[in-house]
Amino acid sequence: MHSSRKSSVIFAASTLTFLLVGACGGGLDDGPKNPVSSASTVSLHGIVYGATDTSVPSGAGVSITMMGQMRALFDLIKKAPDFTQVVMDLGDGSPVHVLDTNTGDKFLPGKLALGLSYILIDMKAKGDPKYADYLATYQKITTAMMAQTSSANYTYANTSWGEYYYLVALNNFKAHGMLNEVFSDAMLATLQNRLTFCDMFGADASGTKNTCPATGVPVNVASLNTAQNYYAVSYGIAGLRQKLGWSNPAFFSATDPAVASMGARDALLYTLTNHIRKDSSGGFSDEASNTHTTYYDQARFDRYSTLLIGEVVERTFEMGNEANLTPELKSYLRKSVDLILPQLNADGQGFNYGRSIGPYGDSAFMEILTAAANAGVLSAQEMEVAYSFIYKAAYRFDTFWYDPTLPTPSVNMWVKGRGTDAYRGKPRVMGENFSLLHQYMYVNAWWDKLGFNGKAPMSDSDLQAWLNTKPHYTLTWYNLPTDTAHPYSAALITVRDGKRVINLNLSQAPDYNSYTPYYPTPFSDNLIYGTTDLGYALLIPQVSYNGKTYIPVTYYKNLNVQENNGQVVVSFDTSKFRQAVKNATYATDIDLQVHTVLTFGQGTLTRADTLSSGTLTGAIAVETDFTSFADFQNTMNSDGFSVKYANSNATSYGTTGFDGCVLSNFEMAAGVTNPLSTTPIGQLHSNFACTTRPFALNAGSNRTFSWTLKYAGSN
């Protein structure tokens, strides 16, 4: 299927000259002490680092480099008389005090320590006369955020990701001979005590609480108290502590004695491998498997299910643990590559379904491809394509996600019609800038080291020509149909219609299946998009029954995908309907079935849902909505069941089987922005809602509802 790039190529590439900032991220510690000029302004390097003074190279097409963005954040903090009162203003009337202790961002101290370290290392290498002044600011802030003395009035948590980010910064300082210049011995002792993975592990089965590192009580590797992807975070922490020469707490497992003989780093990698191996026969990470115990209560496959192995491989290189990068781990990474290659595009857009996407949906593709390049699982042609996509993602970040017109220039996930999940709420705005910029900086560093420093990407026409070679559709199973331990269908169907990429993701998604990004709905950029943390009848038959709302969002069976006469036809059954509320118990499911057929044609999407039930009594009513990015200036057709759109990728939408439809303004509700209308990529403006009157669905009867969406720009 593809030729492997030999690992010798990867390690030979490590001797190539690369930019200083490359040496600062991703654990790259053997670069030169002075920056190297970019060979091309139109390159990943040109956007991320820029010219030798980090300014925008002529012709790069961006307003500011990512190093420039990081310096602006440093300056914003530095000029404040009291850094705890630093404000970021996104122009929505509610500025945020981004460095106080109430942001809810428990990763911020680590993000800040890492993000600002890029500037310090760069200034030191260049002999910048302002270095001492910036160093003093850095020391003041990091001490205040982390020392936490009994008399301190500024106490800040720094957990999991924050600990990992901080350790990356420490290792980068060490690599540049700056560790003991930046941090005193007392501060290093504080950090050694605080930067552990203990907060991610809870009590064992007997109720014994993990304590570390002072008491010497081993940590139970099976007691992770958060999502499964945090095994990768703890693995990174353990490996980076080991790289600094710091000891790690011991691990034990009541069910696997082999863990007790391993160091923490290797025990965590061993546990990660077992998680991926046992929780999905398709090689992807089930992110719900730690808190849910039965097959129907698991199977949340989303961005992180694909990204986790990329992070594991990246951490492995970062900590210098390549000897433990097994063929099995590389095979899982290749599965993630095979899932995202059919989704690549010339616009740098990444995941468009699931939670925590937006700019992180784009950067996830970038991180997976970079890990794959380092691990030698990409062909030479795929390396060129991967680099070109990453360049496009960086350009998209600088020209779409980053908004220089805001009162405080920043990445924008919160205003101007955009919305993100509560996990990444606006109080975390500064931390999100730091972590996203770091992702691009470390990725750029690896590609510099792989020999792409200053290299121009493929031309748009050449990139699109390669993309056009991808299959019309790709079916990726998360749990294979032969896997009897997971009897429900869990898979991603990706359809390419010219330049347009459409994803249909089927997973159980417990705790999230009431939210639109996890619906069994086709998603496609600027055409169909979910709203984070909220649900409504987005292109599914939403049922009202006995005063409650139910949706077909799990229990998928009999998935079948065929291509006939140029059309991709997807069919599946849903055996029960779930109550449309977060954390609904499975006891509230109702005996209602639907047979669904989705047809993907050129410029056309059609869905037909046939509802039936053997035992349901009483009347039900059905609603299906299509919400459009089109301006609210359109009118329904005379038939009352269809609408034409102008100034939109969607051109028309129509339904059958309903009793009536209403076109309404979706953007505003009671004079304020409708929270349902803010997607990660922008504002939805209009809604076409079709409904039925209550009707009985008796045993042996059924009723079919359908919709057809037509769109432009498929070629």
Question: What pLDDT is stored for residue 12 in this prediction?
Answer: 30
Q: Mind listing the pLDDT tens digit for each residue in 535-561?
A: 999 999 999 999 999 999 989 999 999
Structure-block tokens of residue 59: 């012709």
Residues in the chain: 715
177, 105, 194, 73: which is closest to 143 by C-alpha?
Answer: 194
Q: How many CB atoms lie within 10 A of CB 669?
A: 13
**203: pLDDT strictly greater than 60:** no
Tokens of 133: 């002044």
Between 247-251, 291-295, 308-312, 683-687, the lowest mean confidence (pLDDT) is in 291-295
- Interval 310-363: pLDDT, tens: 999 999 999 999 999 999 999 999 999 999 999 999 999 999 999 889 999 999
Place of tokens 């209308």: 677
Domain 473-711 has CATH 2.70.98: yes
| pLDDT band, very low/low/confident/very high, at 24 (cuts 50, 70, 90) | very low
Q: According to the model, what pLDDT value does residue 682 have? A: 95
Comparing C-alpha atoms, which of 433, 542, 436, 559 is closest to residue 492? Answer: 559
Question: Which residues face 563 on adjacent strands?
Answer: 568
End-to-end CA distance of the chain: 27
Task: Outline where 341-476 has alpha helix (H).
Answer: 359-375, 380-396, 429-447, 460-467
Output the CA–CA distances (angstroms, integers) from residue 213 to 157, 188, 271, 440, in the order listed: 17, 15, 20, 33
Cβ within 8 Å of residue 510, ≥6 positions away: 288, 292, 297, 298, 299, 300, 554
Q: Is the pLDDT of residue 447 over 60?
A: yes
The pLDDT tens digits of the residues spanning 254-270 come to 778 888 888 889 999 99
Report if pTM > 0.75: yes
- Identify the pLDDT of residue 546: 94
**Dist CA 53 CA 505 (whole Å):** 44
Name which of 604, 657, 669 is nearest 632 in CA terms: 669
d(CA 650, CA 642): 13
Percent of the chain scored above 90 by pLDDT?
70
The 10s digit of each residue's pLDDT in 350-405 is 999 998 899 999 999 999 999 999 999 999 999 999 999 999 999 999 999 999 99
- Segment 658-681 shows an average pLDDT of 92
How many other β-carbons are positioned within 10 Å of the β-carbon of residue 225?
13
Q: How many CA atoms lie within 13 A of 205 on its CB side?
A: 6
Which phi-psi region, left, alpha or beta, contains residue 358 (left: φ > 0; alpha: ψ -120 to 50)?
A: left
Mean pLDDT of 492-513: 93
Q: What is the pLDDT of residue 213?
A: 54
Nearest to 240 by CA among 173, 183, 167: 167
Domain extent listing, the chain: 7-195+302-467, 473-711
List 577's β-bridge partners, or say none.
Answer: 590
Residue 599 parent element (H or E): strand 593-601
Single-letter code of the amino acid located at 529: Y
Cis omega (within 30 of 0) for bond into 327: no
- Given a cut of 90, is residue 656 above it in pLDDT? yes
Choose between 713 and 620: higher pLDDT.
620
Per the DSSP assignment, residues forming a β-bridge with 313 are none
* Region class of 458: left (phi > 0), else alpha (psi between -120 and 50), else beta: beta
> How far, rounded to the nearest angstrom, does the alpha carbon of residue 562 sit from its chain's CA centroid?
30
- At 290, the pLDDT band (50, 70, 90 cuts) reads low
- Could you please report the per-residue DSSP string of 9-75? HHHHHTTS---HHHHHSTT-----SS----S-SSSHHHHHT-STTSPPPTT---SS-HHHHHHHHHH
Give the start-end residues of each E strand in 240-374. Answer: 251-252
Are 73 and 61 within 8 A, CB to CB? no
